[in-house]
Amino acid sequence: MERSVGIDQLSFYVPQDYLDLADLAAARQVTPDKYEVGLDQRLMALPAPDEDTVTMAAAAALPILEGVEDIDSIGALLVATESAVDHSKATAAFVHRLLGLPPTCMIYDVRQACAAGTAGLRQAAAMVALEPDMKALVIASDVAHYELEAAAEPTQGAGACAILVSAQPRVCELEPSWGVHAEETFDFWRPLERITPVVAGKTSLLKYLECLAGSWQHYCDRGGSPELDACCFHLPFGAMARKAAHRLARESGGCMEDLRYQSGLQYGRVIGNTYTASLYIALCALLEQGEPQPGQRIGMYSYGSGSLGLYFSLRVQAGYRAHILGARHSRMLACRNRLTVAEYEQRHATYGAVPEAASMNASPFRWAGIEQHRRLYESRDTLANAMEASGG
Ligand code: HMG
């Protein structure tokens, strides 16, 4: 890619409710250190009954769209998810309407487990490089939902991250070299009839690291520079980044020993796994809490079970601090609602069930139910209008 293309803005959304892993540890009769130290996780976000991949995706993108002067300049919306609400209709189709995007905006979903967000980013960047007047919106949105009492239970989470890609990127420029490592594996997968995935936990850790080594090598072979100032990793849980950083140090013969990655863990630690969104929420944390210097280079490792590893790099733009949404994100994380284990288990039991009409999550959008097999969504505005009309 010859022209400068990259991330113009980044915004994420997490549901308002969460479970404290210290409470889960007590309920499961596990020492809290196993979660807090062993996994390096503290809280996990839980979606309300009337929020899902669609509502979270739209909520993540709204703050970005508020700042876009010409909505018609958005020529593509790509949604990356592995928790889609329909086997055929694209999540992007629902989100397109909720966000009021123009009919000239191409819409489709991207899928390759957690790596889909990065695959979407790469496609979006290629489109923008071909048509520099257009912008592309990539939204990664997922709910990580595992069985109660499974080993993976403390690694649940939910959230979405929206990325605006442009030819005048104000936050980070994408560098040209990309490393790829693909290999068919059964480490984590979700057969069509299942709500929860099947997980081969230890295999998944090994594959994550093998794909890191392979994609890193490919990145270097293709001319990617190993001189990086910081790195973000796909984050199923915080301790995975520590393992990844060690592996990268080994693969690079020690020259990546002091790579900064800790500030990228700050949000994921209190949100949990968000699959496709987790790498980009880590990037938000690194930019907003780690405050890299303009011109510094950030390595990015994306992993999707099944399996695909992607390694690429970003360069931080001058003046980026004026375009990040750190204050908004910190406020959202600070104003949340702690559920009890009983409330969490009750919600888990009804996961995916049609919500009660009276409920309303904290975002501007809600899943309102199903009529004639059609999944219906409302925005806060339409809801308020309907209530006013009925005198409610
Ligand atoms: P587990 O059975 O809880 O594992 O499952 P464990 O008993 O090995 O404990 C975990 C760590 O806690 C270990 O550290 C223990 O030593 C430590 P490690 O040896 O790994 O460094 N520990 C303690 N530390 C301090 N004090 C204590 C204590 N007790 C134990 N008292 C596992 C863990 C991750 C396997 C499980 O949670 C799981 O299956 N999670 C889901 C799969 C997953 O997240 N895999 C990650 C790689 S694959 C991936 O990232 C893709 C994914 O996002 C999906 C996609 O691509 O779509 C999942």
242 Cβ closer than 6 Å to some ligand 1 atom: no
Whole-number Å distance between alpha carbons of 165 and 122: 10
What's the chain's average pLDDT?
Answer: 94
59 Cβ closer than 6 Å to some ligand 1 atom: no
- Ligand 1 centre and the CA of 39: distance in Å? 6
C-alpha count within 13 angstroms, C-beta hemisphere, residue 264: 28
User: Which residue's CA is the nearest one to ligand 1's atom 36?
Assistant: 152
The predicted model scores a pTM of 0.96
User: Which residue's CA is the nearest one to ligand 1's atom 17?
Assistant: 38
Six token digits for residue 295: 């011109």
188 Cβ closer than 6 Å to some ligand 1 atom: yes
- Ligand 1 centre and the CA of 258: distance in Å? 24
C-alpha count within 13 angstroms, C-beta hemisphere, residue 11: 22
- Ligand 1 centre and the CA of 19: distance in Å? 18
Residue 26 in this model has a pLDDT that exceeds 80: yes
The atom number, within ligand 1, closest to the CA of 276 reads 57
The DSSP bridge partners found for residue 249 are none
The atom number, within ligand 1, closest to the CA of 237 reads 44
User: Which residue's CA is the nearest one to ligand 1's atom 37?
Assistant: 152
Helical spans, DSSP H, in the chain? 21-28, 32-33, 53-65, 91-99, 116-130, 201-221, 238-251, 278-285, 326-334, 341-349, 380-389
| pLDDT of amino acid 31 | 98
275 Cβ closer than 6 Å to some ligand 1 atom: yes
| pLDDT of amino acid 1 | 46
Which position has the higher pLDDT, 319 or 360? 319
| pLDDT of amino acid 40 | 98
Six token digits for residue 303: 């992993």
82 Cβ closer than 6 Å to some ligand 1 atom: yes
94 Cβ closer than 6 Å to some ligand 1 atom: no
| pLDDT of amino acid 340 | 98
Residue 392 in this model has a pLDDT that exceeds 50: no
The atom number, within ligand 1, closest to the CA of 146 reads 41
Residue-wise pLDDT tens digits, 175-222: 999 999 999 999 999 999 999 999 999 999 999 999 999 999 999 999
pLDDT band per the 50, 70, 90 thresholds, residue 291: confident
365 Cβ closer than 6 Å to some ligand 1 atom: no
Triad 345, 330, 138: Cα angle to 5°? 80
The answer to which of 17-21, 64-68, 182-186, 250-254 has the lowest mean pLDDT is: 250-254
User: Which residue's CA is the nearest one to ligand 1's atom 29?
Assistant: 34
- Ligand 1 centre and the CA of 133: distance in Å? 44
37 Cβ closer than 6 Å to some ligand 1 atom: yes
Residue 365 in this model has a pLDDT that exceeds 90: yes
Ramachandran angles phi, psi of 127, nearest 5°? -65, -45
Query: Mean pLDDT over residues 101-127, rounded?
Result: 98
| pLDDT of amino acid 96 | 98
User: Which residue's CA is the nearest one to ligand 1's atom 31?
Assistant: 34
User: Which residue's CA is the nearest one to ligand 1's atom 30?
Assistant: 34
Whole-number Å distance between alpha carbons of 253 and 374: 55
| pLDDT of amino acid 56 | 98
Pocket test for ligand 1, best of 155, 202, 234, 271 (most atoms within 8 A of CB): 155
Residue 169 in this model has a pLDDT that exceeds 60: yes
The atom number, within ligand 1, closest to the CA of 273 reads 53
Whole-number Å distance between alpha carbons of 50 and 351: 10
Residue-wise pLDDT tens digits, 308-355: 999 999 999 999 999 999 999 999 999 999 999 999 999 999 999 999
Residue-wise pLDDT tens digits, 210-245: 999 999 999 999 999 999 999 999 999 999 999 999
Query: From the centroid of its chain, how far is CA 89?
Result: 21
User: Which residue's CA is the nearest one to ligand 1's atom 13?
Assistant: 38
Q: What's the burial of 56, exposed, middle or buried (CB within 10 Å: 0-12/13-18/19+)? A: buried
Residue-wise pLDDT tens digits, 60-107: 999 999 989 999 999 999 999 999 999 999 999 999 999 999 999 999
| pLDDT of amino acid 252 | 84
Answer yes or no: are the C-beta atoms of 98 and 137 closer than 8 Å.
no
Where do we find the tokens 């909720």?
Answer: 98
31 Cβ closer than 6 Å to some ligand 1 atom: yes
The DSSP bridge partners found for residue 43 are 20
Pocket test for ligand 1, best of 30, 141, 188 (most atoms within 8 A of CB): 188
What burial letters (b/e) apply to 317-349, b meaning 16+ CB within 10 Å? beebeebbbeeebeebbeebeebeeeebeebbe
Pocket test for ligand 1, best of 204, 233, 246, 280 (most atoms within 8 A of CB): 204
The atom number, within ligand 1, closest to the CA of 82 reads 57
| pLDDT of amino acid 176 | 95
Query: Mean pLDDT over residues 55-62, rounded?
Result: 98
